[in-house]
Amino acid sequence: MRAAPLPVRDGLGPARVRLRGGPVLAELAGRFGDAARTKVLAGEVVDADGEVVDDRTVLPAGASVYLYRDLPDEIPVPYEIPVLYQDANIVVVDKPHFLSTMPRGRHVAQTALVRLRRELELPELSPAHRLDRLTAGVLLFTTRRELRGPYQTMFARGAVAKTYLARAAVDPTLTLPRVVRSRIVKRRGNLQAVTEPGPPNAETLVELVAPDGLYRLTPRTGRTHQLRVQMASLGIPIYGDPLYPNVVAVPDDDFSTPLQLLAQRIEFVDPIAGSHREFMSNRELRHG
């Protein structure tokens, strides 16, 4: 993908807007209001070549312009992001609960990506994979743009061994360990992923490793909310889960009940160095 013509600023890259075609000022003002008009007139919007857009600029349908977004007011997530490992190519952190991996929706500055770009002064830092906002644990970033592809491909093709820990109730009638296979679908606009009939696309080994309800979860696929959906399907939803089995509204400033799910470990052969890598979280999960 072509690099954005504006640099990362304060940890955040520019927003890209794909145009419908015609006078740019009129289109941006019509779609985004006076704030966009002001940015154009102030010379703060550029095209894909980095040329400043003004009130006379006309661009064809499918062309893109770039501008820095106005950040929403966000509630600070009151947790540090410990660095487990850092070298010239990668940064591995122990992400806390309640912090999104990267900007999405109302979470922008209060994300692991933006905070780490600022704290480590690495403007090209990029996640090689993602953890849900409510899931804590090991998260790997690449330090430079040209490194993203090899590491993201490694995760996408399932070449990374992952182990999670979770806390949930104990059902003495449930036979464990077991491999849970199901078909999980997550549709745009729906908070919950759902299990549907059809060929399985999600597989997880579920083991009870302590009698007080500590589980080890070893996913062999990576569907959205896979572990949360499958644990709920067994009748033992993960403690602190506001989505499964039922949606519970939780204010953004309520950090009292973290989801008891931890990405404890990742292991892989480094696609650049060729060496074996293994990283472990230092976090512990509360008892239910």
Residue-wise pLDDT tens digits, 86-112 = 999 999 999 999 999 999 888 899 999
Task: Write the pLDDT tens digit of every residue in 14-47.
Answer: 999 999 999 999 999 999 999 999 999 999 999 9
- Please report the pLDDT score of residue 52 as a whole number: 96
What are the residue boundaries of the structural domains of the chain, listed by start? Answer: 15-67, 83-280
pLDDT value at 191 more than 80: yes
pTM of structure? 0.89
Q: What is the mean pLDDT of the chain?
A: 95
pLDDT value at 69 more than 90: no
Phi, psi of 177 (to 5 degrees): -70, 160
Task: Write the pLDDT tens digit of every residue in 251-270.
Answer: 989 999 999 999 999 999 99
pLDDT value at 71 more than 90: no
Sign of CA dihedral 9, 105, 221, 79: positive
Mean pLDDT of the region 70-98: 95
Beta carbons within 10 angstroms of residue 284's beta carbon: 10
| Strand arrangement of the beta sheet that strand 64-67 belongs to | 15-18, 64-67, 46-47
Alpha-carbon gap, residue 63 to 37, rounded angstroms: 18
Phi, psi of 164 (to 5 degrees): -115, 155
pLDDT value at 1 more than 70: no
Q: Please state whether the peptide bond connecting residue 200 to the residue before it is cis, i.e. omega within 30 degrees of 0.
A: no
Task: Write the pLDDT tens digit of every residue in 142-187.
Answer: 999 999 999 999 999 999 999 999 999 999 999 999 999 999 999 9
Please report which confidence band the pLDDT of residue 207 belongs to, taking 50, 70 and 90 as the band edges: very high
pLDDT value at 288 more than 60: no
Mean pLDDT of the region 204-221: 97
Fold for domain 83-280?
A: Pseudouridine synthase (3.30.2350)
The whole-angstrom distance between residue 143's C-alpha and the CA centroid of its chain comes to 17
